[in-house]
Structure 1
Amino acid sequence: MSTRQETDFDEPVIESREALVTPMQKGEKPASAWRIGTEHEKFVYRKEDHRAPSYEEPGGIRDLLMGLTEFGWEPVMEGGHVIAMSGADGTVSLEPAGQLELSGAPLETLHETCVETGRHLAQVKAVGDRLGLGYLGLGLWPDKRREDLPIMPKGRYGIMLRHMPRVGTMGLDMMLRTCTIQVNLDYASEADMVQKFRVSLALQPLATALFANSPFLEGKPNGFRSYRSHIWSDTDPARTGMLPFVFEDGFGYERYVDYMLDVPMYFVFRDGKYIDAAGQSFRDFLDGNLPALPGEKPRLSDWNDHLSTAFPEVRLKSFLEMRGADGGPWNRICALPAFWVGLLYDQGALDAAWDLVKDWDMDGRERLRAEVPRLGLDAPLPGGGTLRDIAGEVLAISRRGLAARGRLNGAGDNETGYLQPLDDILARGKTAADDLLERYNGVWGHDLAHVYDEYSF
């Protein structure tokens, strides 16, 4: 999640609804300037007993963050607490229960993305080895109850933790017990954004299936391949889901602004603190009638904050965020951006992907999204068949798109090799979740402690 550091009072006040399209318009870039921003989270645990460490304890999360200073990272403070680290590779930040996230720098190639990922993991493992900490690459804590988990000292999380139980049954699970991989991608124009949004939203369930990696809850199989994805089905319906309006005629920046104005607020950031505005309306804020901040109108940073509080399957800010994948091991961190870059950053691939999904009806898209957490690649497609039937074709389109980009590393290899983990899934017919369940029911003898030995970074 976003990490705010200060309030910019030099920003002009937003005086009209029309100004709210500014972040989206400023995101437009020529293809030569398109970049790849990859985010990945991991669970932190104590090696001696697999416990999730608290922020304050010796050798805990605070000490983990500060240990990164030896690699040139600089602390980001909030309320006297170190809540993130800033550096050349982006930001290392904390999710609500201490999940560690790298929000990587905007990079030109997948080769750079994979080097960045490897560098980050080497750094946090070096610090973790000194502190007795390990890192688990899954989409859901496999054995932890909510009450087993610490809470990080970040103001927005306190507001969200209070609000979540008012609007859904699994919002606390989303905050405390999940990890994801995401990729942020650019667009050239409003029309380009629309096509990319539609393709990525329609195919987001395929990404969920391919990266499904959360089949355990509190030490037992949970009946899902991606329980992390299932959690979003009852987190907060006002800010999640498949956004049917994206596929309607006339969709563009202004329609997304209308959607965001209907999403209830969480907070306002002022003077280094988060002010609770949960459930209040940004429309009222525009009119100077926000109960949490009476008489004051928003700045652009307030709107940017608000844009970060919606959680649909694909999210628009000044770029598009792909949000459907579970957390996973190193090679799948590289595979997710490869999958989407291949589909979205080459016009021929983008057109081919749109041809594949453009005739799907909205009921079918919603049914696919609802079934994929449980069924994975066997989830039903609109019009018949399953995701498994189109997965190979989609990967082939992505591979062609990556090849067409022609971005080579020092050895002369293009970016297509990063799709190999997904090729392996289709060749074997098994996702990571299927492999985990097979080992749990087989060689692990229903003892989930083995996951720490075999699925840690």
Structure 2
Amino acid sequence: MARDVSDSTSIGSKDELISWIAAGEKPPSDFRIGTEHEKFPFYRNDLSAVPYEGRAGSGGIRSLLEGMQARLGWEPIIDAGHIIGLAGPEGGGAISLEPGGQFELSGAPVENLHETADELAAHLADVKAVAEPHDIGFVALGHSPLWSREQTPVMPKGRYKIMANYMPKVGTRGLDMMFRTCTVQVNLDFATEADMVRKLRVSLALQPIATALFAASPFTEGKLNSFQSMRSEIWRDTDKARSGMIAFAFDEGMSYEGYVDWALDVPMYFVKRGSVYHDVAGASFRDLLAGRLPQLPGERATISDWANHLSTLFPEVRLKRFLEMRGADAGPPDMLNALPAFWVGLLYDQAALDAAWELVKGWTTEERQALRDAVPKAGLAATIAGRSARDVAIDVLSLSRQGLARRNCRNAGGQDETVYLEPLSAILAGDKTFSQELVERYEAEWGGRIEPLFPSLAL
């Protein structure tokens, strides 16, 4: 989750909320790629989770952030006296913490996938240099492979306490989502309202295909959990009011206003004033907009409130001033690069986008939902409209590859951006996801023990 927005400009009408989102429109020449990815820190000597303040003889999450601040010179983000993130210069990315200490890079908006890959490589080199003196390593998977929720540390960030109190009231898996999952996502631009709607619909329909391709969470508390993507399964019962496939996006006349209407009816978590998070969990943003929020009488909505509220909505694809692809498990570096490549090829090339729409436009609401529900366990063997997810993925990957080839963005070695799709091509050629590969290694190479996973997958 990115840092909270700070803009105290008052807003008093739905039209202003719509205009705020519409202001994200950009000409295609200004389209950018913003990649976010999370990872679990662990102590190498005993594989325990890393608390904020560390432990005797070893630093913790605070030490990592302070070390990154010293190394990068980025501005610290402070919450109640605790450093809880770093902001890069001139909007150039951020480092933040998820509730259980998951270490996140929110990448800078860049022009091409080669820059994304360079950014990832530099970030991993930096965190490794900062973490090694504390005997800390990192592993990127969709779900915490070893620690129970009780063994998972809690980060000192005000909004997370409010969320943790509210989550059990609206679903059975919200705390697992907060404390024990990691994702990789890419944020992409739109040119017009119609462009946004086309991209939203295509990416929503295909998000379960991405979930299947990037599945990487077959372990829970050191054992197999019978899912290929436990992270995706957890989202099925986190908070149905603010997550899921948002079927209304396929309604005739879908628009910015359609998303705003939905967002207004999703209960709020908090209102931030200064450095204080006011717990208003379950309250209506419509009441705040009208100045009649019971918990804060007379307080009126601001741009910050709207931006922060939108950041607490968790559909499979999220609309803010850009679109966020939210369906994939975190994984090894080549998969972290493959995720933005997959979506850039589909959504930033008009021919690929139009062809993808032709592929999915006949799917019904019920079929899309059934695919979403089946994928966490079945992966590429799930079906939709009489086809396997694997066969759909082959078609979609081909479209993405064509889109990237037409972009013709080349690195210093002359490679175009299709190089980042190779891990996905290998998965489909071998008919085995990374999650299935991990299961095989667990049962054979690792002898049914989870401990070898950490040195094998350490970033």
TM range (shorter): over 0.9
The total of aligned residue pairs comes to 453
CA distance in 1, matches of 2:308, 2:45: 39
Task: Say if 2:65 is the partner of 1:72.
Answer: no
- Could you tell which deviates more after superposition, 221-230 or 54-63? 54-63
Structure 2 match to 1:385: 387
Shift of 1:2: 2.6
Structure 2 match to 1:396: 398
Shift of 1:72: 2.2
Pairing partner for 1:445 from 428, 434, 447: 447
Equivalent position SS for 1:54 = coil
CA distance in 1, matches of 2:228, 2:413: 37
CA distance in 2, matches of 1:4, 1:391: 35
Equivalent position SS for 2:383 = coil
Structure 2 match to 1:430: 432
Structure 2 match to 1:279: 282
1:4-54 residue CA offsets vs partner (Å, 9 max, x unmatched): 27x444x1x212111111222111000000000000000000011111111
Task: Say if 2:27 is the partner of 1:30.
Answer: yes
Structure 1 match to 2:47: 50
Equivalent position SS for 2:272 = strand
Change (3 A) 1:203 1:8: closer
Equivalent position SS for 1:101 = strand
Q: Contact 2:87–2:94 at 8 Å: present in 1 too?
A: yes
Pairing partner for 1:199 from 182, 191, 202: 202
Structure 2 match to 1:413: 415
CA distance in 1, matches of 2:162, 2:193: 34
Pairing partner for 2:147 from 137, 144, 149: 144
1:146-171 residue CA offsets vs partner (Å, 9 max, x unmatched): 00011001000000000001110000
Equivalent position amino acid for 1:4 in 2: D
Pairing partner for 1:208 from 208, 211, 222: 211
Q: Contact 2:177–2:231 at 8 Å: present in 1 too?
A: yes
CA distance in 1, matches of 2:150, 2:279: 24
RMSD: 0.9
Structure 2 match to 1:230: 233
Shift of 1:221: 0.8
Equivalent position amino acid for 2:245 in 1: M
Equivalent position amino acid for 1:332 in 2: M
Matches for 1:182-331 after TM superposition, within 5 Å: 182-331=185-334
Equivalent position amino acid for 1:72 in 2: G
CA distance in 2, matches of 1:211, 1:173: 19
- Structure 1: runs of 5 or more not aligned: none
CA distance in 1, matches of 2:373, 2:212: 12
Task: Say if 2:16 is the partner of 1:19.
Answer: yes
Q: Contact 2:2–2:106 at 8 Å: present in 1 too?
A: no
Equivalent position amino acid for 2:232 in 1: S
Q: Contact 2:2–2:94 at 8 Å: present in 1 too?
A: no
CA distance in 2, matches of 1:35, 1:72: 24
Structure 1 match to 2:84: 83
CA distance in 1, matches of 2:399, 2:431: 19
Pairing partner for 1:107 from 94, 105, 110: 110
Task: Say if 2:162 is the partner of 1:162.
Answer: no
Equivalent position SS for 1:146 = coil
Calculate the TM-score normalised by the size of structure 2. Answer: 0.97
Shift of 1:293: 1.4
CA distance in 1, matches of 2:294, 2:61: 35
1:349-405 residue CA offsets vs partner (Å, 9 max, x unmatched): 000100000000110000000000000000111x21211112111111000100111
CA distance in 2, matches of 1:278, 1:76: 24
CA distance in 2, matches of 1:124, 1:147: 26
CA distance in 1, matches of 2:132, 2:289: 49
CA distance in 2, matches of 1:4, 1:191: 28
Q: Contact 2:380–2:388 at 8 Å: present in 1 too?
A: yes
1:391-424 residue CA offsets vs partner (Å, 9 max, x unmatched): 1111110001001111111122210000000001
Shift of 1:77: 0.9
CA distance in 2, matches of 1:87, 1:284: 35
Query: Segments of 4+ in structure 1 off by > 4 A?
Result: none
Shift of 1:263: 0.4
Matches for 1:346-361 after TM superposition, within 5 Å: 346-361=349-364
1:284-303 residue CA offsets vs partner (Å, 9 max, x unmatched): 11111112211111011110
CA distance in 1, matches of 2:72, 2:303: 33
Equivalent position SS for 2:236 = helix
1:245-292 residue CA offsets vs partner (Å, 9 max, x unmatched): 101100010000000011000000101111101000001111111122
Equivalent position SS for 1:447 = coil
CA distance in 1, matches of 2:169, 2:245: 22
- Could you tell which deviates more after superposition, 223-232 or 78-87? 78-87
Calculate the TM-score normalised by the size of structure 1. Answer: 0.98
Equivalent position SS for 1:348 = helix
Shift of 1:214: 0.2
Q: Percent same amino acid at aligned positions?
A: 57
Q: Contact 2:93–2:105 at 8 Å: present in 1 too?
A: yes
Equivalent position amino acid for 2:452 in 1: H
Task: Say if 2:181 is the partner of 1:178.
Answer: yes
Pairing partner for 2:100 from 97, 104, 110: 97
Task: Say if 2:130 is the partner of 1:127.
Answer: yes
Equivalent position SS for 1:250 = coil
